[in-house]
Structure 1
Amino acid sequence: MSLNVRIFPAGPIQTNAFLVSDPERGEAVLIDAPHDVCEMVDTALAEDGCELKALLLTHGHYDHIGDAAKISARGVPLFGHLDDKVLFESPEAMRAFVYPPDLELTGFEIDHWVEQDDSIQLLGMDCEVRHVPGHCPGNVLFYFAQAKAAFVGDALFAGGIGRTDLAGGSFSLLEKSIREQIYTLPKDTVVLPGHGPNTSVGDEILHNPFVSGE
């Protein structure tokens, strides 16, 4: 398997975007689209000789969707969860939490709504969708079993968890999501979060101080 995974921290709070490409197939998918990521993605696509086939959005918070409208305008299909429909289509709803306060926000429409246990065919592989609310109502993870990789949005970080004090947040719900949807993945699965470094399911089960695996 010739997958390349590139991490692009972008936008005012350095949100991770992930470009997963298969040069042999000439295809790539992007997970999350923070502000100002398009130029970096375009450069990487040219280097790999790949065409962007999909944008997968882990959730609707402003820092993860800043360039989504630009990518949608290119005809790239967007995937997201229905519980974050308002945030995708009317991101001004988040204005009180936006940094910097004058950051430009542009709404867009989702082409394909995803649900728990959906399976999407991408890059010649099955991509499993798992719903992991608690940080945000529509937070989902995208799990590529063949690549042993799970893109989890802001549900879980290396040694941390997503904040639960924003609208629609709930610690008890996030804890349940992590235990049932992330910690049940194989322990050698690489966890690629929306902020900060990668980790693994096994490491977080053993060492995460907020949600233990026991």
Structure 2
Amino acid sequence: MEIKIFPLGPLETNCFVIVNENKALVIDPGGDPTPVLSYLKKTGVELDRILNTHLHFDHILGNRALADATGKSIYASNDDLVLMDTQVGRGGLMGFPEVPHFESEHIGEGETELIGLECNIYSTPGHTPGSLTFHFPALKSAIVGDLIFRRSIGRTDFPYGDTEQLLNSVKEKIFTLPAETELFAGHGPSTSVGDEMNHNPYFSGVHI
């Protein structure tokens, strides 16, 4: 079991490849997926599905190309489909590329099994209405998208963002995970639940 990180696209968004034995998940292919496809081919690992934490352009630019190359389905929350009517969703913002059209299947909060791993999917809105967190207990890790970063939080000034909702999502969903849980964000380095509870300036007074 391992998590590989590939910074992709114009904003070098972290794309995550989660591998268990000979199966893989790809989360947030935010640009040309060639490095991911090369890794899958080199290792002989088969992609199971493509997941999105949310539908901002810099997390989904590579969805169509990866799906076309592998024949695998894309999953995201339907609560974020409204973003595809905005530039921050469909692209074209400030000269950034537009997102090639893709179809996605709905995935929402609940407990499931993916590539033989237990996965707790949490609805964590605030950065976007349909933001999802994927928690893998066996990996002691969670993929949080742009919900929370090391010592910071995701932006809420884009369309459909909500600061109070985001703060509540972190406190009610993320900070209830074990303190040692590693948090993999869409940009920048990873951190941990305990570290952010103790040191993130947006959550003063929160204790383990």
Calculate the TM-score normalised by the size of structure 2: 0.92
Give the counterpart of 1:139 among 131, 143, 149. Answer: 131
Give the total of aligned pairs: 205
- Measured after TM superposition, the shift of residue 94 of structure 1 is 2.9
Whole-angstrom CA distance in 2 between matches of 1:11 and 1:95: 14
Whole-angstrom CA distance in 1 between matches of 2:86 and 2:46: 31
- Measured after TM superposition, the shift of residue 4 of structure 1 is 2.2
- Measured after TM superposition, the shift of residue 126 of structure 1 is 1.3
Q: Deviation per CA, 1:37-75, whole angstroms, max 9, x where unpaired?
A: x11101211232201111110000000000101222232
Whole-angstrom CA distance in 2 between matches of 1:158 and 1:191: 9
Whole-angstrom CA distance in 2 between matches of 1:165 and 1:178: 17
- Measured after TM superposition, the shift of residue 120 of structure 1 is 2.6
Determine the structure 1 residue equivalent to 2:55.
Answer: 60
Mapped contact 1:12–1:99 kept (Cα < 8 A): no
SS of the counterpart of 1:210? helix
SS of the counterpart of 1:133? coil
Whole-angstrom CA distance in 1 between matches of 2:2 and 2:46: 13
1:208 to 2:200 alignment: yes
1:182 to 2:177 alignment: no
Give the counterpart of 2:22 among 26, 35, 38. Answer: 26
Alignment gaps of 5+ in structure 1: none
Give the counterpart of 1:162 among 129, 150, 154. Answer: 154
Give the counterpart of 2:88 among 86, 94, 112. Answer: 94
Determine the structure 2 residue equivalent to 1:199.
Answer: 191
2:24 alignment partner AA: A
Deviating 4+ runs (over 4 angstroms): 95-100
Q: Deviation per CA, 1:143-189, whole angstroms, max 9, x where unpaired?
A: 00111110000000011100010111111110000000100011110
Mapped contact 1:9–1:15 kept (Cα < 8 A): yes
Query: RMSD of aligned C-alpha atoms?
Result: 1.8
Calculate the TM-score normalised by the size of structure 1: 0.89
1:109 alignment partner AA: E
Determine the structure 2 residue equivalent to 1:79.
Answer: 75
- Measured after TM superposition, the shift of residue 119 of structure 1 is 2.1
Determine the structure 2 residue equivalent to 1:42.
Answer: 37
Q: Deviation per CA, 1:52-109, whole angstroms, max 9, x where unpaired?
A: 111110000000000101222232121111111233xx46643797455151321211
Whole-angstrom CA distance in 2 between matches of 1:92 and 1:106: 14
Whole-angstrom CA distance in 1 between matches of 2:88 and 2:134: 24
Identity of aligned residues (%): 37
Mapped contact 2:53–2:131 kept (Cα < 8 A): yes
Determine the structure 1 residue equivalent to 2:5.
Answer: 7
SS of the counterpart of 2:168? helix
